[in-house]
Structure 1
Amino acid sequence: MMIKVFPKLRKQIWGSYRLGEMFGSNEKIGEVWLLSGHPLFITEAEGGLDLNEDMEKLIGKKLPRFPLLVKLISAEDWLSVQVHPNDDEAQELENEPWGKTEAWYFVEKGQIAIGEDPEKVKRALEDNSWDEALKKVEIEPGTFVFLPAGTVHALGPGGLLVEVQQASDLTYRVYDWGRGRELHIEKAFKVMKERKVEDLIVENFENFECEYFRIEKLERGKLEGFCAIVILENGVLDNRQVSPFETFIVPKGEKAELRATALVMRIGKFFEQWGDKK
């Protein structure tokens, strides 16, 4: 058994008309929220199920909100240079239950920028030396990029990617390419950490696990227990014809058979153990 989830579209200044067209909009869409229990956009599900109210039925646990947030993203311009807080910082600075660790799976070729050294980022704000502060990398299709909280990063124009993250919308902008939007410099400096680009990139992606989520790229298989599925290519899920970027949930205690290339996501130990030590 699986349950289809219906997307919500989010307009962004850096967004893409192409992404809008894919989902029946003539507006500049930056993000399609494929799966979300975040109060900004709560995605609806088949059968009238509510991801937050029916969470115990879906994942077997009650959390502050549905824990995984999955998006489809495409941009025509650079996103802001930004950073996200970790769980402790989110609780302290924003009174939010958790921070924002995320990951990107690139369906099409794209580009990213990483601020490996926070000191260089701080210097760039004073002397505009962003070419030195940001390491830009071309990303091939099928590549996975892990962005733990505290990573200074930006997504470049072009490409198409699936983002999997903790259900948080906490973003601190450091630099916005002169677009004049609000920046969050003081908070950003409190949360940014040193990173190395080579530690974040997984080419020819097959699977990944961190404390918040587990992700597999599968072409076929029997799925059992709670998981979220984002279809990448035409195929079949439980005798149902499915198309790219359709999104489904297999609830706890249920099964489904996959015969389509897809990303399959499950919650990690952080969410599995939520409440056990509270």
Structure 2
Amino acid sequence: MTIKVLPKLRKQIWGSHRLGRMFGSEEKIGEVWLLSGHPLFITETSEGLDLNKDMEKILGKVFPRFPLLVKLISAEDWLSVQVHPDDEEAQKLEKEPWGKTEAWYFVENGQIAIGEDPEKIKEAFSSGNWDEALKKVNVQPGTFVFLPAGTVHALGPSGFLVEVQQSSDLTYRVYDWDRGRELHVEKAFKVMKKRKIEDLLIKNFEKFECEYFRIRKTREETLKGFCAIVVLERGELDGRRVEPFETFIVPEGESAYLNALALEIKLGSFFEGWGERT
């Protein structure tokens, strides 16, 4: 049994007309929310299930909201230089249940920037010399980028990727390329952490696991729930024709036969142990 999830479109100043047209819009769409129980955009299903109200049926457990958020992102301009809080910081600073650890799977060539050293970010905020503070890297299709909470980062123009994250929209902007949007510098400085860019990249990605989610690329097998499926190439799922970036859920206790290149996304240990934690 599979449940098809219907996408929601989010306009962004840095968004892409191409992404908009892919989903029937003439506007600059930055994010297509493929799977979400976040109150900003709750994705509906073709079967009429509510990801939050029917969570136990889908996941076998109940959380403050559907715990995974999956997006398709495309940009014509640089996104802001930004950072996300971790769980403890999110609860303390925003009274939100979770912070925002995320990961990017690049479908096409792209560019990213990482602020490895928080002290250099603080210097750049004062001096305006962001070239010294940010390490920019070109990435190839099939590259996976892990962005644990606290990582200062930005996505560059032409990037086209699938993002998997905790269900949170907490973003603190440090620099916005002089576009005049609000910055969140004081909070950003509180949550920034040191990172090494080489520790965040996986080329020729096949699988990855962190405490919040497990992601792997798969092509032809029976998938057993709970999992989310983001189709990457045309194929079939349980005998139905599927197209790139269509998104499906296999509920807990169910299974589905996939014959298409896709990303399978499952809950990580943090959520699997939720009953014991709460």
Task: Give the AA of the match of 1:35.
Answer: L
Match of 2:133 in 1: 133
Equivalent-residue separation in structure 1 for 2:97 and 2:135 (angstroms): 31
Equivalent-residue separation in structure 2 for 1:96 and 1:273 (angstroms): 19
Equivalent-residue separation in structure 1 for 2:176 and 2:3 (angstroms): 38
Q: List runs of 5+ in structure 2 lacking aligned partners.
A: none
Equivalent-residue separation in structure 2 for 1:237 and 1:220 (angstroms): 10
Match of 1:85 in 2: 85
Match of 1:33 in 2: 33
Match of 2:235 in 1: 235
Match of 2:268 in 1: 268
Equivalent-residue separation in structure 1 for 2:14 and 2:145 (angstroms): 20
Cα offset, 1:65, TM superposition:
0.3
Cα offset, 1:128, TM superposition:
1.0
Cα offset, 1:276, TM superposition:
1.7
- Is residue 106 of structure 1 aligned with residue 137 of structure 2? no
2:137 alignment partner, SS class: strand
2:98 alignment partner, SS class: coil
Task: Give the AA of the match of 1:31.
Answer: E
Match of 2:203 in 1: 203
Cα offset, 1:140, TM superposition:
0.2
Equivalent-residue separation in structure 2 for 1:233 and 1:97 (angstroms): 35
Equivalent-residue separation in structure 2 for 1:3 and 1:47 (angstroms): 7
1:48 alignment partner, SS class: coil
Match of 2:251 in 1: 251
Cα offset, 1:274, TM superposition:
1.6
Match of 2:76 in 1: 76
Match of 1:119 in 2: 119
2:79 alignment partner, SS class: coil
Cα offsets for 1:221-271 (capped at 9, x unmatched): 110120000000000100000000000000000010110000000000111
Runs ≥4 in structure 1, deviation > 3 angstroms?
none
Task: Give the AA of the match of 1:87.
Answer: D
Cα offset, 1:275, TM superposition:
3.8
Match of 2:152 in 1: 152
Task: Give the AA of the match of 1:243.
Answer: E
Task: Give the AA of the match of 2:72.
Answer: L
2:276 alignment partner, SS class: coil
Equivalent-residue separation in structure 1 for 2:105 and 2:174 (angstroms): 24
Equivalent-residue separation in structure 2 for 1:277 and 1:141 (angstroms): 38
2:4 alignment partner, SS class: strand
Cα offset, 1:44, TM superposition:
0.3
1:168 alignment partner, SS class: coil
Q: List runs of 5+ in structure 1 lacking aligned partners.
A: none
Q: Aligned ranges for residues 164-183 of structure 1 at < 5 Å? A: 164-183=164-183
Task: Give the AA of the match of 2:263.
Answer: L
Equivalent-residue separation in structure 2 for 1:147 and 1:277 (angstroms): 24
Equivalent-residue separation in structure 1 for 2:224 and 2:38 (angstroms): 25
Cα offsets for 1:172-216 (capped at 9, x unmatched): 000000000000000000000000000000000000000000001
1:57 alignment partner, SS class: helix
1:132 alignment partner, SS class: helix
Equivalent-residue separation in structure 1 for 2:10 and 2:196 (angstroms): 31
Match of 2:217 in 1: 217
- Is residue 64 of structure 1 aligned with residue 67 of structure 2? no
Task: Give the AA of the match of 2:11.
Answer: K
Task: Give the AA of the match of 2:208.
Answer: F
1:205 alignment partner, SS class: coil
Equivalent-residue separation in structure 1 for 2:162 and 2:7 (angstroms): 13
Cα offset, 1:159, TM superposition:
2.4
Q: Percent identity, aligned pairs only? A: 76
Task: Give the AA of the match of 2:231.
Answer: I
Cα offset, 1:277, TM superposition:
2.3
Aligned residues: 278
Cα offsets for 1:45-70 (capped at 9, x unmatched): 12210000000000100000000000
Equivalent-residue separation in structure 2 for 1:224 and 1:13 (angstroms): 39
Q: Name the Cα RMSD after superposition.
A: 0.5
Equivalent-residue separation in structure 2 for 1:159 and 1:152 (angstroms): 17
Equivalent-residue separation in structure 2 for 1:241 and 1:31 (angstroms): 24
TM-score (normalised: structure 1): 0.99
